[in-house]
Amino acid sequence: MVITGGENVYPAEVEGVLYEHPGVADVAVIGIADERWGEAVVAVVAPREGAIVTLDDLRSFAGERLARYKLPTRVEVVDILPRNPAGKVLKFELRERFVRHEATASRHRVAGPLHVSRDLGALASSATRCPVPVGRSKVHALSSSVRAFSMSSAAPRSASI
């Protein structure tokens, strides 16, 4: 679920509408951290061959069927969506890719282009500092940290009163 401006947006609902667009072959809807709204609704689209998909086109198409706050505020076009062996879209990979892309792009806008050798090192080190979108991945990261901490304790604890 994406929470934008305090409203719940169910990605499956938005994806269902966007699949009906004639230029969309495949789509995934994710939430990306946004300063103003908490999370922004982002559509990651694999267009049909020869089709050009724009944000305005998708918003006008979906605007007839969805509330305005559920409409994508950004569209990312990809050749193919990453999937696991069962065929499920790997949305966590899409979030990581576009959060990292935003962090790199904002760094280039503020500080100007970096040298290639510095850029690769900075990108690798910034991956741990990138803001994690609010939602399931943040909870997963926290539970992974807790699990790692509890597994690292040397002596088992006894339940004595």
C-alpha–C-alpha distance, residues 131 and 34, integer Å: 10
Which residue matches tokens 């890719």? 97
pLDDT in tens, 90-134: 999 999 998 877 666 655 544 433 333 333 333 333 443 434 444
Structure tokens at 82: 């990453």
pLDDT of residue 71: 97
Sheet with 38-47, edge to edge strand ranges:
24-34, 38-47, 74-77
pLDDT score, position 149: 39
- β partners of residue 115: none
| Residue 2 contacts residue 30 (beta carbons within 8 Å) | yes
23: CB partners within 8 A, 6+ apart:
47, 48, 51, 52, 53, 57
Higher per-residue pLDDT: 108 or 26 = 26
Asked if the model's pLDDT at residue 148 lies above 60, the reply is no
Model confidence pLDDT, tens digit, residues 54-72: 999 999 999 999 999 999 9
Crossing angle of helices 116-126 and 91-111, in 10° steps, is 130
- Cβ atoms of 45 and 29 within 8 Å: the answer is no
- Class of CATH domain 2-147: alpha beta
- 21 pLDDT higher than 70: yes
Domain parsing of the chain, residue ranges: 2-147
What 103-108 contacts at long range (C-beta under 8 Å, 24+ apart), as own/partner pairs, is 103/129, 103/130
Is the separation of the CB atoms in 94 and 44 below 8 Å? Answer: yes
H/E stretch holding 88: none
Most confident of 5-9, 105-109, 111-115, 142-146: 5-9
What the block records as the tokens of 151 is 């597994």
Q: Can you give the pTM of this predicted structure?
A: 0.64
